Amino acid sequence: MTTPAAKIPVLYNTMHHLHAPTKEYANGGLVDYPEQPERANNILTALQASGLVKGIEVNHPLALDIIQAVHSPDMVATLANISAEVEDYFYPAVFGVRSTMKKLKHSSAGRLGYYSFDVSAPLGKHSFEAARMSASLAFRGAQMLYNDDAQAVYALCRPPGHHAGRDFIGGYCYLNNAAIAAAYLRTFGKVAILDIDYHHGNGTQHIFWEDEKVFFVSIHADPDLEYPHCNGYADEVGAIPGTNLNIPLPFGTEWPRYQQALEEALAAIHHFAPDYLVISLGFDTYAHDPIATFKLSAEDFGTMGRAIAALGLATLYVQEGGYAVKALGQLATHFFRGVL
């Protein structure tokens, strides 16, 4: 066995265990919540066994003003307050038309409904703390890139973040980890975000819609058929056209077509010439993912990692989705072996 030249720092924490909803509402009934603590555990265990990474535990809760650079202060306060109040997981169920919901003060149902776009981000007693720590990993990773500590850093975030916008949550996401990292890096130069989760990163797109220094690119299942449905179409090109690129793909997409989309995305990023690259890394494009339809193999993730790293940019990898829980360690190992 040869020793790799440099190990990839993987930032993690164990606080995420305290955020563990057991059920989500899907297709007319309750099903097991796919976004489980074991996801992050399996990835960390496999990567540490692979010798590819250097684990760094981060236990520093992120300062609220850093979160508020990306999220509405009232939303952050609402999440923190409701989280602290609840006993069991609290699910939003009333999604008022925002323009008619102006007098919300007391009810958690109204306040959480105001900031939610679906029922898949319930708030438990430790959900806010866990989300804040998850964001802290991404932020620390961004600092490490800025300080030139490494060319590639992996933030093993849980809960994920890319469905959370400036003032909305949903899709298992509360705080947008990748966006918080990108907003920090943006103060030092141009940033590209490449979202390769199976689902469109509607939250990240929302946050940087008007920002010409941040180029958001997403490859995902066609929202006409797939979650999050309301965004991710190819004609969404940013407030300043050319600052947002969506590449929707059909159900059942296999590697050759996916690779084409990836090459298109990487060429666009190369053309934008960013100082930093943030990857929203989802493993739910895997053929055996229980909630998705794409057909990528474990080996394809290695090819993907290699292609992204070949851009030669300082890159922060931020964990998003991926629900084939037992396979995630293997997928991450293939991916980061490709990166190295």
So which residues are the catalytic ones?
163
Q: Which stretch binds Zn ion (CB under 5 A): 54-62, 120-128, 200-208, 279-287?
A: 279-287
Whether cis (ω within 30° of 0) applies to the bond prior to 228 is yes
Question: Applying CB under 5 A, does 21 fall inside the site for Zn ion?
Answer: no
Binding partner of 120, given Zn ion, ligand Q9C, none, CB within 5-8 angstroms per partner class: ligand Q9C
Nearer to ligand Q9C, 186 or 199 (CB): 199
Angle at 224 between CA 291 and CA 236, to 5 degrees: 115
Binding footprint of ligand Q9C, residue count (CB under 6 A): 15
Nearest distance from C-beta of residue 223 to Zn ion, angstroms: 12
The position carrying tokens 């993907």 is 304
C-alpha 21/C-alpha 81 separation (Å) is: 18
- Alpha-carbon span 87 to 165, nearest angstrom: 26
Q: Report the nearest approach of ligand Q9C to the CB of residue 160 (Å).
A: 4
At what angle are helices 177-185 and 127-146 packed, to 10 degrees? 30
CB of 52 closer than 8 Å to CB of 333 = yes
Q: 13 to 72, contacts with ligand Q9C by CB under 6 A? A: 26-27
With contacts defined by CB under 6 A, name the span among 51-59, 142-150, 171-179, 332-340 that binds ligand Q9C: 171-179
Cβ proximity to ligand Q9C, 29 vs 312, nearer residue:
29
For residues 164 to 203, the per-residue mask of contacts with Zn ion, x marking binding by CB under 5 A and - elsewhere, is: ---------------------------------xxx----
122 is a site residue for ligand Q9C (CB under 6 A): no
CA angle 218, 219, 224 (to 5 degrees): 100
Residue 24 touches Zn ion, criterion: CB under 5 A: no
Rounded Cα distance between 266 and 205, Å, is 17
CB of 297 to Zn ion, least distance (A): 18
What 3-state DSSP class applies to 203?
helix
String of b and e for 212-233 (b: at least 16 CB within 10 Å)?
eebbbbbbbbbbeebbbeebbe
Smaller CB separation from ligand Q9C, 160 or 274: 160
Query: How big is the chain, counted in residues?
Result: 340
Which of 236, 284, 289, 300 binds ligand Q9C (CB under 6 A)? It is 284
150 in Cβ contact with 7 (< 8 Å): no
Closest approach of Cβ 291 to ligand Q9C, in Å? Answer: 6
* Pairing verdict, β 276-281 and 53-57: unpaired
The distance of closest approach from Cβ of residue 7 to ligand Q9C in the complex, given in angstroms and rounded to an integer, is 27
Q: Which does 227 bind (CB under 5 to 8 A by kind): Zn ion, ligand Q9C, none?
A: ligand Q9C
Helix H or strand E segment including 218: strand 214-221
Contacts of 136 (CB under 8 A, 6+ apart): 13, 58, 60, 61, 62
Alpha helices in the chain (DSSP H): 37-50, 64-67, 73-85, 108-115, 127-146, 177-185, 202-208, 255-272, 298-309, 328-339
* Binding to ligand Q9C, residues 249-268 (CB under 6 A): none
Which of 168-176, 261-269, 294-302, 305-313 is the region at the interface with ligand Q9C (rule: CB under 6 A)? Answer: 168-176
Residue placing its CB nearer to ligand Q9C in the complex, 157 or 183: 157
Q: Which residue's CB is nearer to Zn ion, number 58 or number 138?
A: 138
- On whether the CB atoms of residues 116 and 92 are closer than 8 A, the answer is yes
Minimum separation from the CB atom of position 54 to ligand Q9C (A): 26
Among 320, 324, 329, 336, binds ligand Q9C (CB under 6 A): 320
Chain residues that interact with ligand Q9C, rule: CB under 6 A = 26-27, 120, 160, 163, 171-173, 197, 199, 227, 282, 284, 320-321
Chain residues that interact with Zn ion, rule: CB under 5 A = 197-199, 282, 284, 321
